[in-house]
Structure 1
Amino acid sequence: MEKSIFDLVVNGADGQPISMDKYKGRVLLIVNVASQCGFTPQYEALEKLHRAYKERGLTVLAFPSNDFGGQEPGSMDEIVQFCRTKYDVTFDVMEKVHAIGDQKHPLFQWLTAHSDSQEEVQWNFEKFLISRDGQLIARYGSRTSPDDADLVSDVEAAL
């Protein structure tokens, strides 16, 4: 297992590899997302958070996943189109990944291994806050909205 999140490589929505090292020095909010979930309206609050804090160093990274209830069945083009047209998303939407199970992406392996509980992601829109130096600061369940006072306070403290 990689020691730092910055040792990992993920793919962008276009399938091209992106070293997480690109985000070194930024605060990250990593979210597993789905277009057909009851929590999908959180895209609006994620975008608002992104726009409010991106100049201060926050980067929101969305990782679509079809692991929970088949709620992200679309192609990457469909997912990106949905995010841009329905929620005017300007943060990075990455390639669809598995957040759980035998095919769990190394990023989600790292995130769950470094959280206090080390338990699997429970549902869509679970959030992981990462410090500028690549440490997991906090993990928030799906029911915690991106505009939750505690989450926003944690983001501000990390910035």
Structure 2
Amino acid sequence: MTVRASLRTVAMAAVFSVMGAASAMAASSAYDFTFQGIDGKPLPLSQFKGKAILVVNTASQCGFTPQYKGLEALWQRYRDRGLVVVGVPSDDFGGQEPGNANQIKDFCEVNYSIDFPMTDKTVVSGDSAHPFYRWAADELGFLAKPRWNFHKYLVGPDGKLVSWFSTMTDPESDKVREAIETLLPEKAPKS
């Protein structure tokens, strides 16, 4: 990536952050938030209106990194019924996501065949957290804040937060699958 492209990416991230910070206070649903995609383009959650969304902060060098396998399995199993998994790489916990967007994307594709949507590396904790994460904490309370990598938020088809699952909760656990299944139609919608 050239210096000019790097500066443009940083500038876009700053603009999205400022726009997002203002909207976090007035947000009424997850659809009010936009991340920067791993490809550098905007990734508005509003593009998933009417679908359930599992938003997961991820890291490539974590003891929980094998959860990528379960996240991809959920995506494959339920995507035709209306689930979207969104991976949010973050270096917030233990410096376990040191790579840039291309390195993260390559790691996920090569090691876990990930093809669900992913954001660029994003801050998910503290005062500098992405507005979605500040909003989620406000909506669900202090205990629902990410404390480590692979924290999961489940958003309903109406854009409202439904639940959260800690790092320790495997993506393919009965608890996660049952919560997702209650939000989805019995069969895939006809195209």
Superposition TM-score, scaled by structure 2 size: 0.81
Which one is further off, 60-69 or 14-23? 14-23
The 5 Å alignment of 1:1-159 reads 1=25, 2-117=27-142, 119-159=144-184
Percent of aligned pairs with the same amino acid: 40
Measured in 1, the distance between the counterparts of 2:129 and 2:163 equals 20
Structure 1: gaps spanning 5 or more residues = none
| Match in the other structure for 2:10 | none
Between structures 1 and 2, the one with greater helix share: 2
Between structures 1 and 2, the one with greater strand share: 1
Flag the structure with larger Rg: 2
Give the drift of 1:79: 0.2
Superposition TM-score, scaled by structure 1 size: 0.96
- CA contact under 8 A between 2:157 and 2:183: conserved in structure 1? yes
Give the drift of 1:95: 1.0
Give the drift of 1:113: 1.4
SS at match of 1:158: coil
| Match in the other structure for 2:8 | none
Measured in 2, the distance between the counterparts of 1:147 and 1:11 equals 27
Which one is further off, 15-24 or 33-42? 15-24
Give the drift of 1:3: 1.6
SS at match of 1:67: coil
Q: CA RMSD in A?
A: 1.1
Give the drift of 1:118: 5.4
Q: Which stretches of structure 1, 4 residues or longer, exceed 6 Å deviation after superposition?
A: none
Measured in 1, the distance between the counterparts of 2:35 and 2:106 equals 20
Structure 2: gaps spanning 5 or more residues = 1-24, 185-191
SS at match of 1:70: coil
